[in-house]
Chain A
Amino acid sequence: MIDKIYSYIKDKRHTNIFFTVLGALIFAIIPLFTDVEASYLIYFLFLTFIHIVIAQGWNLIAGYAGQISLGQNAFFGLGAYTTALIWLHDITKTGYYFDPVVMILSGLAPVVLAIIIGIPLLSRLRGDYFAFGTLGIGQIIIVVFLKARAITGGADGLHIPSTVYESMMPYYYTGLLLALFAIAVVYFITRSRIGFALRAIREDEMSAASHGVFILKYKVLAFAVGAFLAGIAGSLYAYYLFHINPDSVLNMNWLFYPILMCVLGGTGTIMGPVIGAFFMTAIFSFGDVYFAQTHPIVSGVLIILVMKFMPTGIIGLKDRILSRGK
């Protein structure tokens, strides 16, 4: 029996699933042994889960489809604002905390934006040029939100009544579920026939097209799914913050965090962003506690060092050590 399980795990295709399920189980029971309302660990993990969701979104578009997006902060912020607006105006009439309908809508709003912007950008621009094109999406959204003061509250933003807050518990489990969902979405997309197309596009667009792949369709698809994941991450964050404004949910950290996490862990791999999210959140949290002011400098140095010395990330490090042994 144990042999069977062992050989099942050894099979490369199952390793990721096994560790994800194992990790999920461990994280699922952690709250049973800790004081959820007071523990820093719970807050740390909650933050990590949000980071995993947005990182997987970037991973799909940049890591698998090879199109570097510098607009994830726009999608994250749009998701957060959507949640806040629906909540405040009780548009869905459901009105309870962590309403799945609200969260899905908060994912879909960025999808619409991603499609509207993605089709012209992705059909005309390649490589760097696409990255530039996405760079200002966040800025334009900020301007729009600042100007639409009647709806968005301008620079002050929106306040969700924080009286509904009862416990950290639902945050933790929703975060865990969303992180698993994000991993699963990217995993199944990349394992499906769509994944073939994305990987082929990343390697050689021209060749992919001459084998019958409709390049634009799959690039836009990856961009939209990445936007969806950023949007629901933003939604969850909005529930946590209660007060959202352009400064908190549209700032450029939300553009750089997913990149940093993917690069750190290993872009274009399923577990890379997860590992990266844990590492980055740990470093940031540690920095926040012990040297609050200077820690972003450390992370800047970290990006440079990682890109210089291990451009394939932590995941790639394993392969490099193995191949050096040969």
Chain B
Amino acid sequence: MVEIRSVRKSFGSHEVLRGIDLEVRTGEVTVVLGPSGSGKSTLLRTVNHLEKVDSGRITVDGKLVGYRRSGDKLYELREREVLRQRTQIGFVFQNFHLFPHLTVLENITEAPVSALKRPRAEAVAAAHTLLERVGLAEKAGAYPGHLSGGQQQRVAIARALALEPKLLLFDEPTSALDPELVGEVLDVIKDLARQGTTMIVVTHEIGFAREAADTVVFMDEGVVVEQGPPAEVLDRPRQERTRAFLSKVL
């Protein structure tokens, strides 16, 4: 489903991704762990073409992200085509980026109505179902500024799910959630995986990784240090760096 090959990305002189190779199979949940600043968010952003890579290649569902290949040439895609690709990819940002001037309900229905051309009534019904699922049924009419941190995060998750994307990118989707809600989000993710949605989840919660992941990827300083099934990576890490990192879990 997702293939990341030799991806490099620098900000100024600082190389944040230093040759990332990663493969994510359809319907699998890949959890990315790693210390702060190791490039996890940046990697997710390149998959959604919010950052252009400096070199390397990313394909989603066999299609290059942001480019079209023909012979030995790569043609840059027009914005419209990139946007079409993006409706297939849901993104939950680390700091949510909710639309502050729209109500919770409008935040969620905006994309289905305008990007997928769903009838509004249908989108609203779907949004209410989603809100129910994340425990925010009664906040449909509230503005994001009036929500608690955890409530905002759940709206962000609902917003991404509303597009029913084939691929979901979660950047720390449970950072503001209490243990009960983490459990609920975990259920949602497992549900989605069962329905065939592919997911990449960046998280700091090892417990979450253990429960949710088919594959765990450990990144450090812009490279993938180790990857494999959670039982292997989390319990019998081969790399010294991974071991050091995991030993700090409280």
The judgment on whether A and B are partners is: no
